[in-house]
């Protein structure tokens, strides 16, 4: 979707103001919000592409002005409701309770054998690979000049606005991986070949505006590209 | 602070209450526990962080064969050191040279190589960095990070749009010939592996 999350190349967003050092968690709630990601994944709320789409649906002004982990929270609620694990009215009711009683305890846990901790201790070092091998032959190879299809899908896609219609050269070929344009839209994995394409700054921003002597590489799935004419 | 980060104490309290509301429901369903939260927090506070990436970089600086394996398949090479996992299943290390400097970004969300760098700093995830780094990297590095890359050095920005996770193998600082791998690792900063800074100079 042409959402506000698609930020590459937008002007006037403001200064970055990087901090030299900062704690891993900026607030206690961030630890909990982060833990939603692996555990809601385990519970079948979403795959990573669906999780991202849940964030893209956040209202734009809120998206730009909220702390990052609030995006995660919103996506967890969106998918929790979608799969029938969370009810928005119930979340709202409990939210009001905890807002008025911030020190009220959480319910007692129901995991006597520590399966959830064991899941984290297994999943974090093992990861959840997106690579797939269906045996499909790649249509492109390293060195090919390709152009990104200039269309604007309404659902989840990783085809960022700033590379649409642009021409670059394939730098790396990675084999097949889960296709976000299906997986993120609840349509299954449908693996496609992934390539890293390098675009010159001049191609992306025009000779007048481009910084000299530079390029941007962007990963595309095979349906995103066609041979350059 | 820049305009889009107006997060008030009230808003923090609201988010904390909403997180607690969702967590309470998940706990009752047996999908979450506070023990799991504590364990995850501990992992990313003490076990998985940029000290791991620094160890990999120091090894690559001292062991040319390891460096070759790292540049060929970063995830596989890191696994030799017991490093890898979530958000680093398919990592690519890109090497800085005298002529080329690399920097990473994720314009669409906040993709970052957790197994070697830990969780990203806030600025990496915020709209400002994501918007500007592909548009004007040389200016951003100079003006926002105080890192001046000469015009003669090409800047390559890697936008992490797929599940590939890029990170930078910085150049070994001058005057470090006699240093051990451990001493070298202490010079490798998180920022140098993102590409927004240089490693520390030899003491």
CB contact under 8 A, B164 and A219: yes
Specify if B202 maps to a domain. Answer: no
Query: Is B78 part of the annotated catalytic residue set?
Result: no
Half-sphere exposure of A25 (CA within 13 A, CB side): 18
Give the torsion sign (CA, A72, A74, A77, A81): negative
Domain containing residue B124: CATH number: 3.90.330.10
Query: Is B106 part of the annotated catalytic residue set?
Result: yes
Q: Show the DSSP H helices in chain A as ranges.
A: 28-42, 48-56, 60-65, 68-82, 88-100, 115-126, 180-183, 201-205
User: In CATH, what is the architecture of A145-227?
Assistant: Roll (2.30)
DSSP state of A200: E
Ordered by start, the domain boundaries in chain A are 28-126, 145-227
Contacts of A68 in chain B (CB under 8 A): 110, 122, 125-126
Contacts of A172 in chain B (CB under 8 A): 92
Tell me the pLDDT of chain A averaged across its residues.
Answer: 97
> Does B34 lie in the same domain as B132?
no
User: In CATH, what is the architecture of A28-126?
Assistant: Orthogonal Bundle (1.10)
Which B-chain residues 43-82 have CB contacts (< 8 A) with chain A? 43-45, 48-49
Percentage, residues of chain B above pLDDT 90: 95
Q: Does A126 touch chain B (CB under 8 A)?
A: yes
Mean pLDDT of B123-129: 97
Residue B8, pLDDT score: 84
> Does B149 lie in the same domain as B90?
yes
Q: Does B27 touch chain A (CB under 8 A)?
A: yes
> Does B41 lie in the same domain as B54?
no
Which A-chain residues 189-208 have CB contacts (< 8 A) with chain B? 194, 196, 198, 204-205
A217 backbone dihedrals φ, ψ, rounded to 5°: -105, 145
> Does B62 lie in the same domain as B144?
yes
Specify if B99 maps to a domain. Answer: yes
> Does B39 lie in the same domain as B73?
no
Is the pLDDT assigned to residue B5 strictly greater than 60?
no
Task: Encode pLDDT of A136-173 as tens digits.
Answer: 999 999 999 999 999 999 999 999 999 999 999 999 99
Q: Does A62 touch chain B (CB under 8 A)?
A: no
Contacts of A51 in chain B (CB under 8 A): none
Owning domain of residue B177: 50-194
What b/e readout covers A194-221, taking b as 16+ CB neighbours within 10 angstroms? bbbbbbbbebbbeeeebbebbbbbbbbb
CB contact under 8 A, A15 and B2: yes
Catalytic residue among B2, B78, B79, B111: B111
ipTM above 0.85 for this complex: yes
Specify if B141 maps to a domain. Answer: yes
- pLDDT band of residue B1 (cuts 50, 70, 90) is very low
> Does B134 lie in the same domain as B59?
yes
CB B39 within 8 A of CB A120: yes
Is the pLDDT assigned to residue B4 strictly greater than 80?
no
DSSP state of B170: P
Beta-carbon count within 10 A of A99 CB: 16
Q: How far apart are CA A28 and CA B10, in angstroms?
A: 15
Q: Does B100 touch chain A (CB under 8 A)?
A: no
CB contact under 8 A, A42 and B31: yes
Task: Encode pLDDT of B98-113 as tens digits.
Answer: 999 999 999 999 999 9
Q: How far apart are CA A147 and CA A164, in angstroms?
A: 8
> Does B64 lie in the same domain as B25?
no
Residue A136, pLDDT score: 97
Q: How far apart are CA B137 and CA A20, in angstroms?
A: 18
Query: Is B111 part of the annotated catalytic residue set?
Result: yes
Q: How far apart are CA B152 and CA B154, in angstroms?
A: 6
Specify if B111 maps to a domain. Answer: yes
Q: How far apart are CA B104 and CA A126, in angstroms?
A: 23
Residue B2, pLDDT score: 44
Q: Which helix (H) or strand (E) holds A193?
A: strand A192-200
Query: Is B110 part of the annotated catalytic residue set?
Result: yes
Residue A165, pLDDT score: 98
> Does B163 lie in the same domain as B75?
yes
Task: Encode pLDDT of A78-108 as tens digits.
Answer: 999 999 999 999 999 999 999 999 999 999 9
> Does B123 lie in the same domain as B62?
yes
Give me the total of CB pairs closer than 8 Å, taking one residue from chain A and one from chain B.
315
> Does B42 lie in the same domain as B65?
no
- pLDDT band of residue B9 (cuts 50, 70, 90) is confident
> Does B25 lie in the same domain as B4?
yes
Is the pLDDT assigned to residue A127 strictly greater than 60?
yes
- Closest by Cβ to A39, choosing from B36, B127, B153: B36
From the CA of B110, how many Å to the nearest CA of chain A? 9
Task: Encode pLDDT of B55-110 as tens digits.
Answer: 999 999 999 999 999 999 999 999 999 999 999 999 999 999 999 999 999 999 99
- pLDDT band of residue B3 (cuts 50, 70, 90) is very low
Task: Encode pLDDT of A34-77 as tens digits.
Answer: 999 999 999 999 999 999 999 999 999 999 999 999 999 999 99
Q: How far apart are CA A138 and CA A129, in angstroms?
A: 20
Half-sphere exposure of B112 (CA within 13 A, CB side): 24
Q: Show the DSSP H helices in chain B as ranges.
A: 9-28, 34-42, 50-62, 64-72, 74-79, 114-117, 122-125, 127-132, 137-143, 181-185, 190-194
Beta-carbon count within 10 A of A106 CB: 18
> Does B137 lie in the same domain as B155?
yes
Distances (CA, A) of B25 to A77, A97, A116, A186, A227: 11, 13, 15, 24, 50
């Amino acid at each position: 979707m042409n959402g506000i999350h698609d930020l590459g190349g937008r002007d006037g967003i403001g200064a970055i103001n990087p901090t030299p050092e900062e704690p891993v968690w900026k607030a206690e709630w961030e630890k909990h919000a982060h833990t939603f990601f692996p555990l809601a994944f385990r519970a079948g709320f979403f795959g990573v592409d669906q999780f991202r789409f849940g964030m893209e649906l956040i209202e734009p002004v809120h998206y730009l002005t909220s702390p990052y982990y609030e995006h995660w929270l919103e996506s967890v609620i969106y998918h929790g409701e979608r799969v029938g694990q969370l009810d928005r009215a119930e979340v709202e009711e409990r939210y009001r309770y905890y807002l008025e009683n911030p020190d009220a305890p959480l319910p007692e846990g129901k995991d006597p054998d520590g399966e959830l901790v064991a899941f984290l201790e297994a999943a974090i070092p093992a990861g959840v690979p997106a690579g797939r091998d269906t045996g499909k032959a790649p249509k492109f190879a390293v060195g090919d000049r390709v152009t990104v299809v200039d269309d604007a899908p309404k659902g989840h896609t990783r085809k960022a606005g700033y590379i649409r219609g642009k021409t670059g050269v394939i730098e790396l070929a990675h084999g097949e991986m889960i296709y976000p344009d299906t997986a993120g839209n609840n349509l299954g994995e449908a693996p496609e070949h992934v390539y890293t394409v390098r675009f010159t700054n001049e191609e992306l921003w025009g000779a007048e505006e481009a910084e000299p002597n530079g390029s941007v590489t962007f990963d595309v799935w095979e349906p995103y590209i066609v041979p350059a004419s | 602070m820049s305009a889009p980060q107006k997060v008030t104490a009230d808003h923090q309290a609201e988010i904390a209450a909403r997180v607690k509301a969702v967590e309470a429901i998940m706990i009752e369903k047996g999908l979450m526990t506070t023990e799991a939260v504590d364990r995850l927090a501990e992992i990313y506070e003490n076990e998985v962080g940029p000290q791991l990436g620094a160890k990999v970089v120091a090894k690559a600086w001292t062991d040319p064969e390891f460096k070759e394996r790292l540049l060929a398949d970063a995830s596989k090479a890191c696994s030799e050191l017991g490093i890898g996992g979530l958000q680093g299943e398919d990592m690519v290390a890109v090497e800085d040279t005298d002529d080329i400097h690399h920097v990473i970004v994720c314009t669409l969300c906040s993709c970052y190589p957790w197994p070697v760098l830990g969780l990203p700093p806030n600025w990496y995830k915020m709209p400002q960095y994501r918007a500007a780094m592909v548009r004007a990297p040389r200016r951003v590095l100079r003006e926002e990070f105080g890192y001046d890359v000469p015009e003669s050095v090409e800047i390559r920005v890697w936008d992490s749009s797929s599940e590939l996770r890029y990170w930078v193998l910085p150049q070994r600082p001058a005057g470090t010939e006699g240093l051990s791998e451990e001493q070298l690792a202490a010079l490798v900063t998180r920022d140098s592996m993102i590409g927004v800074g240089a490693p520390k100079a030899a003491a």
